[in-house]
Structure 1
């Protein structure tokens, strides 16, 4: 119970931190629409692989057990061989490799649990998936930050860019605009400083797969619920027709 409460508080703190960061920056950065890949099994499997390789070293997903990934079409053997540390068991929770003591020494605080991050980051006019998709494509080099990285979505973010070798290094291009006597900076695009291992399109697709997996973790039963809901609506529709005809037959001789 204590672990659930602590994780919830961490997610809330992460959300508040993002809001305060955006307020301090004085801008409302526009969110890009994340591709909807919640029913794409191959994308979810790839996203799980990216999560394990690039996120799980620091961030836990303690509300999810490895064997839950069988719902993505993976066998327990595939999970053991490709997505787990050798000391873990397939029924274990997805816990970060880093210890809380190491995390505090390196980052100043323990990285938050990501089990519900996609659900906690939804805002007015955008989903949590949109937020994460834009965030992971919004990093840029900033020598004034302790990690050497900053982010146009989450100003003064504490997390360094986990995928920088794949994306490369970019610099945001801002244009100063004066409106009603106030000068503001408007984001106009990106300038490539150093190319990464992937092209822009390849990197965007990789992030989309990762975000789809993060969204799935927050609600693994969503697709099953939708499928069941469709059948329930079909049943109710057919039942309404039967009830209507039964009602007509019952009252036809009543004057």
Structure 2
């Protein structure tokens, strides 16, 4: 009995240790809530366009083939004419245009594959992977001390330069020094626009939301179908439970 209790405590400690490690690996910067747009085909289509224009040059999505984009309402002709820059076959994988050796030389490491980035971040961190990506892509600022010239409030000392800087422009974070429990800390208070981009703040936020929605869709294209099917299964089970209950009552009503 004591051995079972000890084993249970060890297992519980391992669980809490894993949760603590995952939290420590994250960021203390508050995450913004990403709009949920995976049911919006127009948003997913624009997110796909943003992805191939601004992300696919360095990041692959090798678990996704171009013809899978027909599931978000695009025809193969539209895919070939508007989204395919690295291959001519619509059945090919979405592979980055950059040479892996060049990428490692320029950035210090090969850019990761983004097929499952939203799901993997959700598994690693204590918050939503889509919220993290949404905050990250809106959290860049100029930093002359970094090799790329960019830093990020959600990922300090990030190695990736700002891929959408022309759309967002350049901003400067505003921090306020606050003394708490005898310790001085810096609290983020907002942004100061240094150089405006091609989009307004609202337009840029929407663009990032659509890109993040596409990244979430890539991680599990069948997610919406799975959820819809699950709802119908639960409804069926609920109705069947009532029918089974009444049948059981009718069968045993004359048994004393």
TM-score for the superposition, normalised by structure 2: 0.88
Q: Matched residues in 1 for 2:208 and 2:98: separation? A: 23
Distance 1:156 1:214, change over 3 A: same
Q: Secondary structure at the match of 2:173?
A: strand
Q: Find the counterpart in structure 2 of residue 213 from structure 1.
A: 214
Q: Find the counterpart in structure 2 of residue 46 from structure 1.
A: 46
Q: Is the 2:47–2:214 contact (alpha carbons within 8 Å) kept by the matching residues of 1?
A: yes
Structure number, greater radius of gyration = 2
**Shift of residue 150, structure 1, vs aligned partner:** 0.3
Q: Find the counterpart in structure 1 of residue 66 from structure 2.
A: 66
Q: Matched residues in 2 for 1:86 and 1:190: separation? A: 37
Q: Find the counterpart in structure 1 of residue 238 from structure 2.
A: 237
**Shift of residue 87, structure 1, vs aligned partner:** 3.1
Q: Find the counterpart in structure 1 of residue 160 from structure 2.
A: 159
**Shift of residue 236, structure 1, vs aligned partner:** 1.1
Q: Find the counterpart in structure 2 of residue 83 from structure 1.
A: 83
**Shift of residue 19, structure 1, vs aligned partner:** 6.0
| Count of aligned pairs | 233
1:169 aligns with 2:165: no
Q: Secondary structure at the match of 2:194?
A: strand
Q: Give the 5 Å matches for 1:51-200.
A: 51-85=51-85, 87-122=87-122, 123-124=125-126, 126-200=127-201
Q: Matched residues in 1 for 2:86 and 2:62: separation? A: 18
Q: Matched residues in 1 for 2:247 and 2:62: separation? A: 52
Distance 1:156 1:86, change over 3 A: closer
Q: Find the counterpart in structure 2 of residue 4 from structure 1.
A: none
Structure 2: gaps (5+ residues): 1-20
Q: Is the 2:86–2:96 contact (alpha carbons within 8 Å) kept by the matching residues of 1?
A: no
**Shift of residue 88, structure 1, vs aligned partner:** 2.9
**Shift of residue 127, structure 1, vs aligned partner:** 0.4
1:191-225 Cα shifts (integer Å, max 9, x gaps): 00000000000000000000000011111110010
Structure 1: gaps (5+ residues): 1-15, 23-27
Distance 1:86 1:114, change over 3 A: closer
Q: Secondary structure at the match of 2:141?
A: strand
Q: Is the 2:133–2:212 contact (alpha carbons within 8 Å) kept by the matching residues of 1?
A: yes
**Shift of residue 109, structure 1, vs aligned partner:** 1.2
Q: Matched residues in 2 for 1:144 and 1:86: separation? A: 34
Q: Matched residues in 1 for 2:25 and 2:243: separation? A: 56
1:147-206 Cα shifts (integer Å, max 9, x gaps): 000000100000000000000000000001111111110000000000000000000000
1:77-112 Cα shifts (integer Å, max 9, x gaps): 111111112633111111000011111121111100
Q: Secondary structure at the match of 2:184?
A: strand
CA-atom RMSD, angstroms? 1.5
